[in-house]
Structure formats: C-alpha cells, structure tokens
Structure 1
C-alpha cells in the first residue's frame, strides 16, 4: 500500500488539525498470530503552533496490565503531505506522509514495558480519518525487521 493510494479521499486527515485539542482513544494489541495481548485506554492532548509549524502532542496509554506509557511528540510539518517528528524515546526521527484521509507514521522507539525494561520496536502506523472527529489506526510493530504484533486504535476528538 502506498500513501498515494489515498489521494482525493475525504475527509482529509491533517495531523496539525486532528491532534490539536483533546482526544480519547482505545487500543487492542495482538500478537503476530492474532491473539489478544493487551488493551489500553488513551488520553491525549495536542497544541498546534503555526509559528513553529509543529504539533506538540502528548499521549498517555493506560494498559490493562497496570502499566502506563506516555509519549511526548513534536510533529513538524515539513511540506504539504510530509512530516517528521521527535519523541524522547525515539531512535532517530519519525517520518510521516499524508494524502487524503490517510496518514502514515513510521519510527523506531525504545518502548517501556511493565517490568521496567524497554524494547526497541519499529512502528508503521496508518491513520484513517473516518469523520472530522474520529479516526482508526492500524499499527504494526517489529524488531530487527521481523513483524512482532499489530495494534488497532480508535481515537475520538473531544475538544
């Protein structure tokens, strides 16, 4: 699948618009063979800075096993349809591409685990805007180029 496949689709997903405000979300994480591994409730809030061309976006994942993971994103609009980003646990920059209703976001992150350790995972997340205040995400995670699991996430913008 290519981001270009979504040219002309609506509504248009713009990270600087969707991530500006408060969001709530829900996630399920599945193993490579489809078994449920974890569930999470997500609270998020972002602020778009026109002057910086950046969305400052914080997500808090509260997993059913009791641990939390907080991400502090800075998502920079580089050009129409092109983004890069940073987050304290990233290894290198995140890269994003947008077309129509879709946004593809790729990055490598040292992801905290319940036991206090961290696992380096490569993420390939596809956001699809369903309507102005709702999107669905299908994310895949892997290690060393091998698939590890899939996340299904629903976000609703609440302000």
Structure 2
C-alpha cells in the first residue's frame, strides 16, 4: 500500500469515527429509563410551556410561553399550541397526531412540511420534522430535531435543534408542565 492510499484510508476512517461520535443516540438507547413516557397520557388536557430560543452561538434571542390543549379520540389526537414571544409576536400551531401500536407517532400541522415522525422508549420521546419559519419578510425551511425527556409524570424538558443545511443554527429549550 503506498503512502497516498494509507493516508486516504486513515482519513476515511477518521471521518467515519467523527460522524459516529457526533451523532445523537437512538431513542432505544433510553429503553430502561423511567418514568415511562406515554405520549398520549402526557399530552392530554391543558399544558403550559416556558422556554428560550438561542442562536447558533448559544446567545438568547427570545423567550416564550406556550399554552397547549390536547384531546384524543382513540389513537387520533389534536394538540393546539398558542405561542406568545417576549417581543409580542404570537403564533398558533395545531398538530394532528396519530399514535401507532409500535410506539411510533406521526403528526401534521400547517407550518410543518410533510409528516413529523417520532418514537418513544423509556422516559424519552424523539421526533423530527421540517418547518417553514417566518424570517425577514419571507419563510425559511429548517429541520426541527426534538428530544423530550420526561422528568416527572407532569413535567418534561424539550430540547429542539434547529438545523439548516446540516448545521445547527439555533436551539429551543422548553419546560412543559401539565396544569
């Protein structure tokens, strides 16, 4: 093997190792954690969320409060979210959710592009979806990578990475409580 091929092999191996080490764990990694996260049980009735938005440098850009109401008919749910930001902007999102027997979930909303897909295991729920965000008089398509960690049966922490072109451009952190 010549020096070039050895260098190329080492570079490919190092790149693969870096990609693996930077990737998030799979939701099944949390299988034995508790309390057990049951999406339908947690997201039922009235909830309230308090949160912050940070830019890619970790600097606080906004604060928000979200009032939620969730209702179910069988495995079909509706979650209404009313956002109020500290600058006075308001936003409404209405999720239509389907729970599947294998712990997976799908959801659609007006500003969501396509279908959100998620799964829970142990005390954790993870889902991923694309969103059209208002930006500078237009809209910007970004990916939301949501991780929800059930802390108690009535409180969870939601961390959302906002990704554009494969790069995290922001983060939303919410504490969601059943009220």
Smaller-chain TM-score bracket: over 0.9
Whichever structure has more strand as a proportion of its residues is 1
Q: Deviations over 1:83-138 (max 9, x none)?
A: 1111111111000010010000110011235x653321100010011111100011
| Aligned residue number for residue 157 of structure 2 | 136
User: Aligned residues, how many?
Assistant: 155
Does 1:69 pair with 2:104?
no
Task: Identify unmatched segments of 5+ residues in structure 2.
Answer: 1-24
Name the Cα RMSD after superposition.
1.3
Does 1:28 pair with 2:49?
no
Q: Displacement of 1:29 after TM fit?
A: 0.6
Larger radius of gyration: 2
Alignment TM-score, normalising by the size of structure 1: 0.92
Secondary structure of 2:29's counterpart equals: helix
Superposition misfits of 4+ residues, deviation over 6 angstroms: none
Alignment TM-score, normalising by the size of structure 2: 0.82
| Aligned residue number for residue 82 of structure 1 | 104
Whichever structure has more helix as a proportion of its residues is 2
Distance in 1 separating the partners of 2:56 and 2:116: 23
Greater RCO between the two (CA within 8 Å, min separation 6)? 1
| Aligned residue number for residue 16 of structure 1 | 40
